[in-house]
């Protein structure tokens, strides 16, 4: 999947924090990486990051899973498809 699901995020994490962490995985300058940070309700502390391809998503997952962001280890996994 080219979409990663990120959980265990501190409530102070912003989309800018996610961008600073994940934008380094762009291959081309014009590649887009999309962020959807959940800040309310039962999805609070979770995010979805969409990469241009599976290779970039896999590399990001391998390098960012467990990364300490604002005092909490990020849990990163492939997002499941919509049912």
Q: What is the pLDDT of residues 40-72, one digit of tens each?
A: 888 999 999 999 999 999 999 999 999 999 999
Tell me the pTM. 0.90
Q: What percent of the chain has pLDDT over 70?
A: 98
Q: Which domains does the chain have, with CATH numbers?
A: 3-78 (3.30.70.330)
Residue 83 above 70 pLDDT? no
pLDDT-derived band at 4, boundaries 50, 70, 90: very high
Among 70, 36, 68, 29, smallest CA distance to 52 is for: 29
Which DSSP helix (H) or strand (E) runs through 48?
strand 46-50
């Amino acid at each position: 999947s080219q979409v990663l699901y990120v959980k265990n995020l501190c409530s102070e994490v912003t989309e800018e924090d996610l961008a600073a962490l994940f934008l380094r995985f762009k291959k081309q300058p014009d590649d887009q990486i999309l962020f959807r940070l959940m800040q309310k309700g039962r999805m609070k502390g979770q995010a979805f990051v969409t990469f241009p391809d599976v290779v970039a998503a896999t590399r990001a997952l391998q390098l960012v899973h467990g990364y300490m962001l604002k005092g909490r280890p990020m849990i990163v996994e492939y997002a499941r498809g919509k049912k």
